[in-house]
A and B are shown apart, each in its own frame.
Chain A
Amino acid sequence: MKKVRSNVRIADLQIRYVLDIPANWDFGSPAAQSYPGDPPLPTNAISGTFAAPHARGRDLTFKSIFINGLEWFGDLGIFCARVFRAAVAPPYELGELLRQCDIIGAKSLPLVALAGAATGVVLSLQTHDALIRFGAKSLLPAVIVFSIIKESGPVITGLVVAGRVGAGIGAELGSMKVTEQIDAMEASAVDPYKFLAATRVLACILMLPLLTLAADFSGVIMGWLANTLADPISFRLFLDNGFKNVAFSDFIPPTLKTAFFGWIIGIVACFQGMRTTGGTEGVGRSATSSVVLSSLFVILADVVLVRLILMLWG
């Protein structure tokens, strides 16, 4: 019994050493499971001794999560209003806007084109067999083109950009916040909502439809290529069959809806970045939450927008 206690003691000391926890802190009672100076833990809080510092003491009841959620949306609304006001009021930061268009648009192009190409190949491989089974092989070009321009292209572009650009903006602005660069900008009488947020949000809005076109283009080409390897067909015939029944209403609204995805990605990432607290750990949290939240809202917005487009254009 004595030996077991001694082993527990050694393990405890090792954990304290690794986590840099003073030896005189007692983990025995819930009241002791906080650092000196921390607010007292509520009974329903995460009370695990090794919970992350930011999570320690956080109230996780449904009510508090609901209230925090409402607060978050309220703050986001105020942030949107500030960014909008900053964006429309002169002077305009055209140089910074162009720089952001390059970072968000041109530098995302290879990744978006690759994702579009992969989607085209997968669509071609998956639908080829199914259509042969149902005796509708001739519909393959139309299926690929419709799938890509109406849904796959826009959504894949939205999600890829949410991952690449969302994380980038969240981490960059988060790092600027914790190193007081945003304060320094304000102290220099430059509005960070105009210079940092409005330019990034606008660049996302402008670049997403263009990137979607690139994803659509590479998806259709690779869809044809994958199909041709299994069942040769000329590119011209593939395009003729694919676009025969495509109207502008099939192409324009889904492409333009990605401007809304761009707005979501830009605004969420800037918001999460500019409210970062907690040093480098906070920067990591902002980058992660920017990606998670913007991807989630892109998917939710897609559901609503698809319904809206169907209502308006059939």
Chain B
Amino acid sequence: MDNESNSEPIVIDNLHKKFGDHTVLNGITLHVKRGETVAVLGRSGIGKSVLLKLIIGLEPSDSGSVKIEGQEITSLDLKQLNEVRKRIGFLFQQAALYDSLTVEENVAFPLSRHTNMPVADQLKRVRELLGGVGMEQDLEKMPSEISGGMQKRVGLARALALDPSILLFDEPTAGLDPITAAEIGKLILELKQKREMTAIVVTHDIRGAKTFSDRMVLIHEGNILADGPLAEWQKSKDPFVIQFLKDSS
């Protein structure tokens, strides 16, 4: 790894994405430093989740560059892309736990596929991970038997299973009550402090984002309209930024 990729594990340059005639991302450029947590905000349907899917290669980009720890992912084949994906944890909006597997099996899924750990060690690791998110009591439950907040916790434990260096969160607090949302926010903050992870968090929760992020990015009409800590946003003269802050408070 060269110095640049070591200091900036996520480098997005001039990224474009269209769905049919609808332009979603129109030349986004975003560099994320190692250990930094960036919150991505914007109106619904503006392309925040699409940005995360482009970063992990779930959607192909139309043009532009996405580098993960120095590796250009837009030109990789599936095998190479999967190697990059093992270094990224992804928490989906609805947690996306596998319906047919128990909580324990969900978290063990990446371990059983990508490591040579003996089953006993896998189970130990799964318990550690679930203990870290306060879910060690519900190992045998099915995803349908636990609440939305608990599903997000399990999703987070699964995302951490392979000890990734980068984490992507897609609306981790959406649809949760304020107390559970605050608990998830606290978990993100703990991860940031304990593991010094590089993270991008897509969220609508500006108050939570202020707590757990180092920098906030506002996407509007396919471009980044504001980039910096909240204090800098508050100095902006852009009418959309002013309106967004006003409506979020």
Contacts and interface: CB of A to CB of B under 8 A. Distances in A.
Residues of B in contact with A, size category: 20 to 34
Contacts of A175: 99
Interface string A10-45: 000000000000000000000000000000000000
A59 interface: no
B85 A183 contact: no
Interface residues of A, number: 14
B113 A187 contact: no
Contacts of A179: 94, 96, 99
A191 interface: yes
Contacts of A183: 53, 58, 92, 96
A189 B83 contact: yes
Contact of B99 (A181, A185, A187, A190): A181
B113 A190 contact: yes
Given A189-B85, A191-B78, A180 B92 contact: yes
B110 A188 contact: yes
A176 interface: yes
Interface in A146-199: 175-176, 179-181, 183-191
Nearest to A193: B78
A188 B53 contact: no
**What is the predominant secondary structure among interface residues of chain B facing chain A?**
mixed
B39 interface: no
Contact of A189 (B53, B86, B98): B86
B97 A189 contact: no
A160 B30 CA distance: 54
A313 B94 CA distance: 56
Contact of A188 (B78, B93, B109): B109
Interface of A is mostly: helix
Chain A CB count within 10 A is highest, among B56, B96, B158, for B96
B85 A188 contact: yes
Contacts of A180: 92-94, 96
Interface in B63-93: 78, 82-83, 85-86, 88, 90, 92-93
A184 B86 contact: no
Given A180-B92, A180-B93, A181-B96, A186 B113 contact: no
Contact of A187 (B78, B85, B93, B94): B85
Contacts of B85: 186-189
B114 interface: yes
B83 A176 contact: no
B183 to A, nearest CB: 22
A187 B58 contact: yes
A185 B83 CA distance: 14
Contacts of B82: 189, 191
Contact of B97 (A181, A186, A187, A191): A181
- Chain A CB within 10 Å — which of B58, B83, B86, B97 has the most? B58
A168 to B, nearest CB: 12
A187 B88 contact: yes
A188 B56 CA distance: 10
B148 to A, nearest CB: 12
Contacts of B110: 188-190
B113 A184 contact: no
- Scoring A180, A181, A184 by chain B CB atoms within 10 A of each residue's CB, the highest score goes to A184
Contacts of A191: 78, 82
Nearest to B89: A187
Nearest to B86: A189
B90 A187 contact: yes
B172 to A, nearest CB: 14
A187 B109 contact: no
Contact of A184 (B78, B83, B92, B114): B92
A181 B98 contact: yes
Contacts of A176: 98-99
B184 to A, nearest CB: 17
Given A175-B99, A187-B92, A188-B113, 5 more contacts: A180-B93, A183-B53, A186-B58, A187-B85, A190-B109
27 contacts: A176-B98, A176-B99, A179-B94, A179-B99, A180-B92, A181-B96, A181-B97, A181-B98, A181-B99, A183-B53, A183-B96, A184-B90, A184-B92, A184-B97, A185-B98, A186-B85, A188-B113, A188-B158, A189-B83, A189-B85, A189-B86, A189-B110, A189-B113, A189-B114, A190-B109, A191-B78, A191-B82
Q: Which 8 residue pairs spanning A and B have beta carbons closest together?
A: A184-B96, A189-B82, A189-B85, A180-B96, A187-B90, A188-B110, A180-B92, A189-B86
